[in-house]
């Protein structure tokens, strides 16, 4: 029986504003879409927090036994500077400033994004589609919305008609805004503005002659509006209605509100059953953001090469720091907070190492089954990782008491506790035991050094068959030996 049948998950749904029982549309399968990065600059730690929250969510859904199709896109076109409706494309602007091809910019920062995420031990999504790879799908949706009379074309651009849509649907239901209030609070349109109303948004923009990112369409050369790509890619891979759509809180309006409007206009039904929004990482109390300069890059934290923190912090320490906050709470980055997380992370990892060495007795002074259920209860309650971590530290306390001989644990309970501690720490929270990997690489070095010594002795004895065998077999395993003046060294590829 899959775990999800006994562990009842509840999720905070931004659409209803309530925590709701989670049951997917198709039993056993979950479709989840998360808005990915706009690849025009290095991801900062704030971006990573949102993606890490959804990595943890993906991990727990998988742990519960769901088959999850997780789609996280790459925005490589259509996202304009300042998230505006007019102006330059973020990627085209970077390409112009750095004298690069737009796709060179995209490639550079996509590689950076993947590199940082793998250092943080993220699981790759099931599909990672790009906006530029789905221009045809986006054009089809625009044609459909035009046919339904909910969009209009002006000079080669197409805009979504929010007021018309709102006559039969509810624009603003995700963000809790009312169209009348939005209208009352906005200034008049500038004379040159093509839109009927400031609330309308672009589905397709005409490309001016200098705009290099352009595609042919029924309305002339242009490029898609930012909100449209997510509607096209989520529904293409997950269906017209799917289980979970996530992103940072700052995307709720207008991005996700517009996604709902586009999908309802085109498909006639609400696209998403559970909208999930991750809260912001702040620094000095202000949102971490590229545009304000109030940000730090993960690489600067891992190397310690920055003016903000007193020392370097490893990816697992930063991950532990993030997991100590609930994904819907604001989290502030500071040196003190990271130092405290480092202590906590080390204590947890040491305790898992110690657990393996404990002597066992006939009885257990600690109810492992109910402790384990408390860990599940925390995660089932809208992925409450801080409570899960508090429970893990409850186990740490018992492990210490057992080590000191003040409590006892049976052989079978020790094995169960080990499995649960490892499952929650590594599989669900995605931490890595850095001291264990250091131990592993220490052991590997010891073994290779021994083989280098044996090879040296074989050569001294003119037993070249053995010395060549050692070199060739190591090479086949990806370990290259290099003979130099100082002796033999090795590298692992
Ligand atoms: P972008 O590349 O600007 O489209 O942003 C990628 C993701 O990072 C979006 O889901 C944003 O909501 C999220 N994001 C941006 N700034 C922060 C922050 N300070 N804390 C958490 N998430 C953020
Ligand atoms: Zn999106």
Q: What does the pLDDT look like over 44-84, one tens digit per residue? A: 999 999 999 999 999 999 999 999 999 999 999 878 877 77
Nearest-angstrom CA–CA distance, 129 and 233: 7
In whole angstroms, give the CA distance from residue 46 to residue 41: 13
Using the predicted structure, report yes or no on whether residue 481 has a pLDDT greater than 80: yes
Residue pLDDT, tens place only, 310-349:
999 999 999 999 999 999 999 999 999 999 999 999 999 9
Dihedral pair phi/psi, residue 296, rounded to 5°: -140, 145
In this prediction the pTM is: 0.89
Quote the ligand 1 centre to 431 CA distance (angstroms).
Answer: 22
Contact (Cβ atoms closer than 8 angstroms) between residue 386 and residue 326? yes
Domain ranges of the chain: 10-278, 282-432, 435-492
Among all bound ligands, the one having the nearest atom to the CA of 35 is: 2
The residues near 298 (Cβ < 8 Å, ≥ 6 apart) are: 43, 44, 45, 48, 116, 119, 120, 315, 318
- CA-nearest residue for atom 15, ligand 1, is 47
**Per-residue model confidence (pLDDT) at position 79:** 83
Q: Do domains 10-278 and 282-432 have the same CATH topology?
A: no
Query: Do 286 and 294 contact (CB within 8 A), yes or no?
Result: yes
CB-based contacts of 450: which residues, under 8 Å, 6+ apart? none
Contacts of 113 (CB under 8 A, 6+ apart): 37, 39, 43, 74
Dist. CA 365 → ligand 1 center (Å) = 46
Cβ atoms of residues 287 and 280 within 8 Å:
yes
Ligand having the closest approach to the CA of 286: 1
Q: Angle, to 10 degrees, between the axis of helix 385-403 and the axis of helix 411-422? A: 150
How far apart (Å, rounded) are the C-alpha atoms in residues 294 and 289? 6
Residues 6+ away with beta carbon under 8 Å from 304: 311, 312, 313
> In angstroms, what is the span from residue 9 Cα to ligand 1's centroid?
26
Residues with CB under 5 Å of ion ligand 2 are 35, 230
**Residue nearest atom 21 in ligand 1 by C-alpha distance:** 280
Tokens read off for 414: 């020790």
Across 193-206, average pLDDT:
93
Ligand number, closest to the Cα atom of 53 = 1
Q: CA 247 from chain center: how many Å? A: 9
Q: Which atom of ligand 1 is nearest to the CA of 75?
A: 4
Of ligand 1's listed atoms, the one at least distance from the Cα of 36 is 6
* pLDDT digits 0-9 by tens, 414-466: 999 999 999 999 999 999 998 776 666 667 777 888 898 899 999 989 999 99
Ligand sitting nearest the alpha carbon of 247: 1
Q: Which of 46, 275, 322 has most ligand 1 atoms within 8 Å of CB, for mutation?
A: 46
Ligand 1: residues within 6 Å at CB? Answer: 35, 37-38, 46-47, 49-50, 247-248, 250-251, 280-281, 287-289
To test the pocket of ligand 1, the residue of 248, 279, 321 to mutate (highest count of ligand atoms within 8 Å of its CB) is 248
Q: How confident is the model at residue 299 (pLDDT cuts 50, 70, 90)?
A: very high
Band (pLDDT 50/70/90 cuts) for residue 118 is: very high
- 10 Å CB burial of residue 111 (0-12, 13-18, 19+) is exposed
Structurally, at CATH architecture level, domain 10-278 sits in 3-Layer(aba) Sandwich (3.40)
Q: How far apart are CA 483 and CA 328, in angstroms?
A: 55
Residue 18: is its pLDDT beyond 90? yes
Residue nearest to atom 14 of ligand 1 (CA): 47
The CATH classification number of 282-432 equals 1.10.730
Provide, rounded to the nearest whole percent, the portion of the chain with pLDDT above 70.
97
């Amino acid at each position: 029986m899959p775990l999800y049948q006994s562990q009842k998950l509840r999720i905070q749904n931004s659409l209803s504003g309530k925590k709701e029982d989670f049951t997917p549309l198709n039993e056993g399968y979950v479709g989840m879409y998360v808005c990915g990065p706009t690849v025009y600059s290095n991801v900062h730690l704030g971006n990573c927090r949102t993606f890490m929250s959804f990595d943890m969510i993906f991990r727990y859904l998988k742990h519960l036994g769901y088959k999850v199709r997780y789609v996280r896109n790459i925005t490589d076109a259509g996202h304009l500077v300042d998230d505006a409706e007019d102006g330059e494309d973020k990627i085209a602007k970077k390409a112009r400033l750095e004298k690069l091809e737009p796709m060179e910019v995209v490639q550079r920062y996509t590689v950076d994004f993947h590199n940082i995420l793998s250092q943080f031990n993220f699981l790759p999504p099931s599909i990672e589609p790009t906006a530029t790879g789905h221009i045809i799908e986006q054009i089809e949706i625009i044609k459909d919305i035009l046919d339904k009379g909910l969009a209009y074309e002006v000079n080669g651009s197409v805009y979504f008609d929010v007021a018309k849509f709102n006559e039969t649907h509810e624009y603003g239901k995700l963000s809790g805004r009312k169209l009348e209030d939005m209208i009352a609070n906005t200034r008049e349109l500038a004379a040159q503005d093509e839109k009927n109303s400031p609330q309308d948004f672009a589905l397709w923009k005409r490309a001016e002659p200098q705009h290099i990112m352009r595609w042919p369409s029924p309305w002339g050369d242009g490029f898609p509006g930012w909100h449209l790509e997510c509607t096209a890619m989520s529904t293409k891979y997950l269906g017209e209605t799917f289980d979970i759509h996530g992103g940072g809180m700052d995307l709720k309006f207008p991005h996700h509100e517009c996604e709902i409007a586009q999908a309802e206009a085109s498909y006639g039904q609400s696209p998403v059953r559970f909208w999930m929004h991750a809260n912001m990482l702040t620094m000095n109390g202000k949102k971490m953001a590229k545009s304000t300069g109030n940000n730090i890059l993960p690489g600067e934290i891992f190397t310690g090469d920055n003016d903000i923190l007193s020392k370097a912090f490893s990816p697992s320490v930063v991950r532990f720091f993030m997991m100590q906050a609930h994904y819907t709470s604001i989290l502030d980055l500071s040196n003190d907070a990271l130092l405290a997380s480092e202590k906590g992370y080390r204590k947890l990892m040491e305790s898992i190492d110690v657990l393996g060495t404990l002597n066992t007795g006939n009885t257990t002074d600690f109810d492992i089954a109910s402790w384990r259920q408390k860990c599940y209860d925390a995660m089932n309650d809208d992925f409450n990782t801080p409570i899960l971590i508090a429970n893990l530290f409850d186990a740490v306390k018992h492990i210490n008491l057992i080590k000191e001989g003040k409590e006892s644990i049976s052989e079978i309970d020790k094995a169960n506790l080990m499995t649960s501690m490892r499952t929650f720490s590594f599989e669900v929270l995605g931490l890595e035991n850095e001291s264990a990997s250091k131990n592993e690489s220490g052991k590997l070095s010891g073994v290779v050094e021994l083989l280098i010594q044996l090879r040296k002795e074989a050569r001294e004895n003119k037993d070249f068959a053995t010395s060549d065998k050692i070199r060739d077999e190591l090479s086949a395993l990806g370990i290259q030996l290099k003979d130099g003046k100082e002796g033999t060294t090795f590298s692992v590829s």
